[in-house]
Amino acid sequence: MDQEGNIKQFINDNQFRIDVESLKKYQCAIRQFLEYTDKPLAAITKSDIRSWLIYLKEKGYKPNTIWSKLTALKTFFNYCLEEDLTLKNPAAKIPFPRVEEKLPYYLSIEQMIKLRKLLEGRLQERAILEVLYATGIRISELCAMKIENIDWSERTIHIPNGKWKKGRIVLFTHQCGEHLKLYLESRTDGHPYVFLSLKFKDRAISPDVVGSWLFKNYAKSLGFKVTPHTIRHTFAAHLAQKGMPLECIRVLLGHETPNETSYYARLYNHARKEKYDEFM
């Protein structure tokens, strides 16, 4: 099997374990590396990977991006080893680059008020915002939501295929429920997805439209940064300020890796300190 065939096999065998967006990034990184080395899988060495990482750094790639690309190679070569496509994983012992620990950016209460006011009268867009803010779900999870996943009596939403294909249950507030119902009651179609494409009303809205179109326009109108992931950070920070334990927030966010937990632990501590400083 050629290298392209190996990549396709890797994607097919992992499509039920790794989320779609991550697989796209993995595929891009793997192809980029293989084009750089121009070697068969069995001939690739640790030095080849180190050389590529240096090349990426010299080209101006940020440490976070290099971290992501190395993760893709480690996962891919581990798969190749398991499938007897290679005799070793040349990426296994290569350390990740040091990443500057920046605090996650989130909105203040005042900024959330301005964002909500901007979306007054826009039923679907306001419902999207309220669901993101009330649940902390990822944009890919929001776009895949189906009406049948909502339990109105319990005010919960079942997320069947989160990151790493792990399902979980998230909660939503009365305020979120009111906007969600208002939007759904305005629809006359019978489509199963909660949020529909702005242009094609027979399909689910895409993450690109929400992030690169809707939220990009919100940021321009408001004069401050706001993305779907900003709202996920805001969800976590505001719960921390209200006193919810970090472990509970971690479960609601659907974290699986220590790196994710560490990232949000910094946000948690910063948000709690901000609340403390208000009273001192």
Q: What single-letter amino acid sits at 9?
A: Q
- Mean residue pLDDT of the chain comes to 87
User: What is the extent of the structural domain holding 72?
Assistant: 3-82
**pTM for this predicted structure:** 0.65
pLDDT digits (tens, 9 = 90+) for 143-186: 999 999 999 999 999 988 655 456 788 999 999 999 999 999 99
Angle, CA of 235, 239 and 241, to the nearest 5°: 120
151 and 268 in one domain?
A: yes
Place of tokens 């919810």: 244
Look at residue 104 and tell me if it is in a domain: no
pLDDT digits (tens, 9 = 90+) for 16-41: 777 777 888 899 999 999 999 988 88
**Which pLDDT value is given to residue 85?**
85
Task: Assess contact for 100 and 203: CB atoms under 8 A.
Answer: no
72 and 167 in one domain?
A: no
Token output for 277: 């400083």
116 and 194 in one domain?
A: yes
250 and 137 in one domain?
A: yes
Q: Considering 65, 82, 99, which residue would you say is the last residue of a domain?
A: 82
Kindly report the number of other CB atoms within 10 A of residue 98's CB atom. Answer: 8
At how many degrees (to 10) do helices 228-241 and 258-278 cross? Answer: 60
DSSP, res 89: -
Residue 161 phi/psi, 5° resolution? -130, 75
118 and 70 in one domain?
A: no
Q: What is the CATH number of the domain that holds 7?
A: 1.10.150.130
Residue spans of alpha helices (H) in 93-148: 109-118, 123-135, 139-144
134 and 66 in one domain?
A: no
Q: Considering 27, 47, 82, which residue would you say is the last residue of a domain?
A: 82
Task: Assess contact for 253 and 232: CB atoms under 8 A.
Answer: yes
Look at residue 183 and tell me if it is in a domain: yes
Distances (CA, A) of 128 to 45, 111, 241: 46, 17, 23
120 and 75 in one domain?
A: no
Largest CA distance in the chain: 66
31 and 114 in one domain?
A: no
Q: Is the pLDDT of residue 49 over 80?
A: yes
User: What mean pLDDT is predicted for residues 66-95?
Assistant: 90
Q: For the chain, what is the domain count?
A: 2
78 and 216 in one domain?
A: no
183 and 132 in one domain?
A: yes
